[in-house]
Structure formats: structure tokens, C-alpha cells
Chain A
Amino acid sequence: MSLRSYILTRIILALPMIFILLVVIFFLLRIIPGDPVLAILGGKAPLEVIEQKRHEMGLDKPIMVQFFDYLKDVFTGNLGTSTLTNRPVIEELKDRFPATLELTIFAFIIALLIGLFWGAESAWRKDEPLDIGARVYSVLLYSVPVFWFGLILQLIFASYLRWLPVGGRIPAVTSFEVRTGLYVLDAIMSGDWKGLLDVLRYLALPSITLGMVTSSIFLRMVRNNTVLILSKDLVKAARARGLKKRVVLYGHAVKNAFVPIFTIIGMQFASLLAGAILTETTFSWPGIGSYLVMKIRYRDFPAIQGTIIFFGLFIVVISIIIDIVNALVDPRVRY
């Protein structure tokens, strides 16, 4: 299969996946008992007002009509209007997405750095203290709930030591202009170095929390795969040629171990987003994760629906990209 037709097949296969996702989200949210209008106005507004509101939202239409309206809306990029704030859900997601993106990018970098270097080094020194430490670390962090780990870090570094802020994304006063919504970038673009330092201080705890928890999986994968490769002939050959450890380990072993790891990274991205939901709530990080939690609390159905669709599409797109890159790196995937 040529690369182009592989990419095409991959994208076409994604379409039914998206459709199933849309159907499931729609019907799941309607099976759940409870009426969104009542959730907001119940016990306060007169009954006529409630009826009128329900009519405005189209909730009195037959379910199939609602379903087709919904499909039409989704395909025209309209994710509905939040019942809580009366704003288009897509607008609210746009406001919030940069926060989640910034958090996941930094968490991902941290996870990758820890996973890659510690994993490779402990494979090199198999069964030595560094390796045992790595194994204990990854088991511990894999089993720890991310919100609990976040709370503990918060307690130590924000509450006792007071080195870092408790939560939020920016201090009360900043002077950089918000352009991209990625504050690190915004601060750099405005040349506001004090602001950049502030932003990084706020970013530190959430991204370390999420990054460390995610790193446990990377660490194990990198270590185990590298151990496997290290016992292979190509490594023996490399060492026999008298290459330095750095070249043998990173140039030959890790590089070869990386293909399966790359697939895992793609899959981990989904769980990284799931972890972001909890991390964001723990640190009052105003991203899409905490947005979803808040909207669930208020029974804001259009917003919940829109957010899940957004999450779903995001993961589909990421996994297509990962698959394509994978196919580029390792031609075996295509056949």
C-alpha cells in the first residue's frame, strides 16, 4: 500500500468511528434522567416559564427530530448553546482549550524526559539500584490516583513550603497581552520575563503532577523495550566497534526500541487528556477538563455534549496523526 492510500484509508476508517461517537453521546445524555431546564430553573421559576424555556431549547420535539437537528449542527460546527451561560459552546471551548493544550504539552514533555532518560539508563544498568528505583517509581506512580498525587504536591510545595502557588493559571496582576491563550507563549511574545516566570510558577505543579503520573508508563515501556534491544546482536556489534555508551544506548538501542513506544505514546495521549480533567480540577486550572466537571455539576447538557464531542474528535485527529507518523517512520506498519 502506498503511503497516500494508507493515509486515505486511515481517514475514511475514522469516519464511522466519529459517527458512532456522536450517536452514543447523544443517546447516552438523553437516557440519563433529569431535565436540563428543571436543573436550572426548578423550584424557582413559575411552571409556564419552564415550559417556554423547554420549547425554546427544542426539548419538546420528538427525539429523532432532535437527533437529526443535532447531527446537522455538529457537521456545521455548531456545538449548541450552553444553557448555563447562553454562549455558544464552541466559543467557550475556544476560551478554554489553550489552557488544556499548554498543560498537556508541558506534562507530555516532562513525562517524555523522565521516561526516556531514566528508562534508557535503567535498562543499561539493569538490576542496579537505579533500575530498581525506576521500577518502584513506575509502579507507585502508576497506581497513585492523579488527583491525590496533585493534592500531596500542593500540600507540600504550596501550603507548607510556599514555593509555588496553590492553583489557578495566572497571578492577580500580569501585564502581558493575551494573544494565543498559551500564556507561556504570550509572555514571551510580549517580552514580559517577570510574567513568564509567574506563568511558569503556576504551571509547575499541575504539569509536574500530570507529567510524573504519565511518565510511569513511558518509563516502563522505554526500559523494557531497551532491555530487549540491548541483548540483540546489533548492540553487541556496536559495542564491539568500541562506540561510546551514549551512542550505543541512545543511537542504537533506544532508537530501535522506539517504534512500539511511539504507538503507546499515541494511545497515552487519550489518558493524558483524562488525567488533565482531574489535574485541572485539583489545581483550578481553567481548561476543558475543569470546564467539563463544572458543566456536569450544573447539568448543562449542550455543553457536556459539545465537550465530549470535542474531546473525541481531538483524540481521533491525534491518533490519525500518530498513525501517519508511525507509517512514515516504520514502513512495516503500512503493510
Chain B
Amino acid sequence: MKKYLVALLMLFVALGFSASDYIVVGTTDKIRTLDPANCYDYFSSNILFNVLAGPVDYKVGTAEIIPWLFEKWTVSKDGLVYTFTIKKGAAFEDGTAIDASVFKWSWERVMKLGGDPAFLLGDVVDKIEVVSAQTLKVTLKYKFSAFVSVLGYTVGFPMNPKTTPADKFIDGAPSASGPYKVTEWQRDVRMVLEANPKYFGAKPKTPKIIIQFFENSTQLRMALETGQIDVAYRHMDPNDVLDLQKNQTELGLKVYLGASPQIRFLVLNVKQKPFDNPAIRQALSYAVDRDAIVKTVFSGLASPLYTLVPIGWWSHIDVMPKYNPKQATQMLQKLGYSSSKPLTIDLWYTPSHYGSTEADVAQLLKRSFEATGVVKVNIKYAEWSTYVEYFLNGTMGLFLLGWYPDYMDPDDYLWPFLSKSGAASMGSFYESAEVEDLMIKGRAATTLQERTALYQRVQQIAAKDAPYITLWQGFADCEARSNISGIVLEPSQIFRYYILEKK
């Protein structure tokens, strides 16, 4: 009898959910880990952004840093010591207060465990001191004005010392401090987020978010069209995005498009012949038809990019030459190449890591280089892990690569590319004392004006030396039923579930 009552009650509960109590989000992405100390992929951090509170946040819809757990901060004159004031009253779901000692414990744990993103803190942080419950002092190894931006990434988010093991990564979900808490997680099947009553900030607009995981984009699209899910976020096929956009009113859907901070580029290995000659690199940079790639391969759903820093970021300036095959031909002819004695180069790509469009991109690049009449291109490819091996050991001379930022600062688009150590891990092996010096100055400078000037100078030199030819900046997309509001595709790529609402 009791069993039947329980069953009846359950049925009651099941039917008791009104439609606007929850929103179902579908994705083909996977969650690797929910431990900030090891989280270094997009979708895992996406969940953490909604479940944990971080030191700083971004103003909704912008890349502007605003206080979150850190109320305010000051930087010492020498740029090495940061003093943070922590908000009072913030706590984890079990009531454990978030104070300076929690931050110290969490960050030291990140550095000790040495997980995938640990270097982001470990490379710069020298010492962490608790001054008082509400005051934290951090001393850096070198001047690094983008430090606060690094703290905007999940690696800087504090964890609950009461429930988190100090010596290993957590397996399940963390103790929540953000707008939601994870109440159910069946890996690769379903995750349920429910409003965290202990969160100090604004209540989520929708008390419950259910994330359903799909294996492929066709399924994701069908699930959205049939109403099985309310929101589809990552990864719809570009053709499906265009198709849904065309028919959105009929289907009762809305397609959102935004810029993504992902940039794609060609790497030119400056230690390998013939790319060791700056004149050849320079000539090739005139021969790249970005518009053709964006139009043909991405149906216009991407933006041509003429520098390393993405469009819309401070210090961005177009510095690389516009497409001019005649100029490229002339420059190469001057170097002694002709149609009978062409410059023969290998162009490498990797077929699956960047999606199915990569082979087409390589084809278009080949066509665009060969349009000069004095270049002959052989296309070669390798699977991702082999590809990485090849570019780290300098096997490849000219190849396609992509970059996704770790923190929202132009420094993350320049230092990893142009510093000696960065360039080596990117396969260009570029070295320039002048550029390195300017970038170190940029890291030490404290005013935006000063930093902008320095970074623009760096971009100009990079365009002239051409160890990289940037191609395009990606796009972000999200598709939802038309009764869902609150979808904002942010420059920071944080997808905020707590502002979603169903009408």
C-alpha cells in the first residue's frame, strides 16, 4: 500500500511541474570535469560559471570586468602585489563562508595538483597571504597586468575546503557557491541544475535547468524542432544554423549569432626553408583570400581577421595586408620565382579537430596561393595528435591552427604567439627581442591607454614579420524556441543559464 502511495505521490510530483519551472538545454558537448583545478575545456567551465561564484565577473554582454566575490582590489606601485577585498556574506551551499583563507587554500590546491590549467596561476603567482578574513594579498613573480583577467577564468574560482579533497581532483560536482547547484548528474545523459538558495547574488529567473547531452548535431537539431529541448547550445552544423535561421518564424524558433573569440590562422615556421625568409612570408600574406573562405566555407558566418587580437577587443587594429594577388606575384618574382620555376610549398591541415570544414579551407588556401601563378601548393594532413607532434618538433613549415583564449585580455593573443617560449609551443619558432620587450612592458603597464599603444605596436611588427597570417574569427550560435528569452552570446563566451526565462 505504502509503495502505491509513494508511486502516486511521484506521479503527482511529475505532473506538478509546470512548463515554465524548467528549461531544457541540449548540447553535443561533453563535461570532462567539474573541478576548477583541472577544468580546461569549454563546456566544463560553462557549467562551473553557473555553479560557482568567482573572484570577478564580466558585465552581461560585454568584456568589462566587474567585481563578484572580490569587491575591490589595489595593485602596488611596482605592479607585483595585488590586494583583494572579499565580499562579506558569500558562502557555499553548506554554509561555509568564502573568505581569504578559502581563496588561499583553493589557489594553492590548483598549483599543487598541477592539473591542465594550473600553469595559468603557477606561472605568475609567487605567494598568497591571508591578511584578514576579508583581505587577500597576492605577490606575483613578474609584473602582469592581465592577472585579474586570469582570475575571471574558472581556475581562480574558490572551492569549499570542507567538501573538497586537498590532494586529488573531485569526481562529481563541486559544493555550489553560484546561482545554481548540481542536483543530478548522469554523465553524458542529463544534468539538472537547481537554484542555489545560499547564493548571495540575484535569484535565477528559472529555478531549474536541465541539460541533455546528444551525440551529434543532426539529433540536436531534430530535438529542438520537435520541442524535446528548449535551447540548443553548441554544436549545430553551420548549414543547419543557416537553414533554421531562414525558417525560424515558421518553426517557432529564434537563432542567435554572436562573435566568438576563437581565431584561426596560418602558422609559418620561421626556422624552416623557404619560410625562414621574411620576404616570402610577407609575399604569402598578400596572397590569402580571406573573403573567399568566409563566404564559401562558412556561408558568411565568420569574420575575416587581419591581426592577432580579435575584432571588438581593445587594441585591435587591422594590420595585415588585404588580399592582393598581383602584389604577391610581383614580390615573389623579385625573389626569382616564376611560373616555370614556382615556389613549391606544403600546406598542412588536420581533418577533424577543427570540424569537417578544414579540408575545404585548405583547398581554398591552395587555390588562393596558386592564383599568384608563381606558387605551387601540396596539401598534406595529419590527425590531431600527430599534427601536434609535427608542429612542436618543427616538421611542418606552413599549417592551419586555431586559438581559444584562457583569459579575456589581448595579452593572451600576443604572448602565447610571439614570446620565444610561446612561439615554440605554437610551432612558428618566432623570436624577436623587440616584440618580447614590448610585451613585457605591456604586462607591466597599468593604464589602458599605455597598454593599447604597446599592443598595437606589437601587432604591427607581427604583421610585418609575418610568423602568422590570421584568417578569420569564428562565430558563436545558439538556437532556441521563440518563447525563451535571456539568451546572450557574450564576448567572454560565458553562457548564463540564470538569466534564461520561459514565457
Contacts and interface: CB of A to CB of B under 8 A. Distances in A.
A87 B171 contact: yes
Given A45-B116, A45-B119, A47-B425, A33 B226 contact: no
Contacts of B228: 165-166, 168, 171-172
Given A33-B383, A36-B385, A281 B216 contact: yes
A286 B188 contact: yes
Interface stretch (B217-225, B252-260, B458-466, B489-497): B217-225
Instruction: Tell me what chain A mostly uses at the interface: helix, strand, loop, or mixed.
Output: loop
B384 interface: yes
- Interface of chain B: mostly helix, strand, loop or mixed: mixed
A175 B10 contact: yes
A282 B219 CA distance: 8
Interface in B87-123: 114, 116, 118-119, 123
B17 A46 contact: no
Interface string A83-119: 0111100001001100000000000000000000000
Contacts of B401: 43
Interface in A129-182: 151, 154, 158-159, 162, 165-176, 178
B385 A38 contact: yes
A123 B193 CA distance: 56
Given A46-B425, A299-B385, A168 B10 contact: no
Interface centre among A34, A38, A92, A172 (most CB of B within 10 A): A172
Contacts of A331: none
Interface string B6-25: 11001101110100001010
A34 B389 contact: yes
Contact of A43 (B14, B229, B426): B426
Contacts of A294: 30, 188, 215
A33 B395 CA distance: 15
A264 interface: no
Interface in A3-61: 33-36, 38-47, 49, 52
Nearest to A178: B186
Given A44-B40, A165-B223, 16 more contacts: A34-B385, A39-B384, A39-B388, A42-B389, A43-B388, A45-B425, A46-B119, A46-B421, A47-B425, A168-B190, A175-B14, A176-B10, A194-B11, A194-B14, A283-B215, A284-B215
Interface of B: 3-4, 6-7, 10-11, 13-15, 17, 22, 24, 30, 32-33, 38, 40, 114, 116, 118-119, 123, 169, 171, 186-190, 210, 212-216, 218-219, 222-223, 225-226, 228-229, 352, 382-389, 391-392, 401, 403, 406, 421, 424-426
15 contacts: A33-B386, A41-B116, A44-B406, A47-B424, A96-B188, A162-B226, A165-B226, A166-B219, A168-B190, A171-B228, A191-B7, A284-B213, A284-B219, A293-B215, A294-B215
Interface of A: 33-36, 38-47, 49, 52, 84-87, 92, 95-96, 151, 154, 158-159, 162, 165-176, 178, 190-195, 280-286, 290-291, 293-294, 297, 299
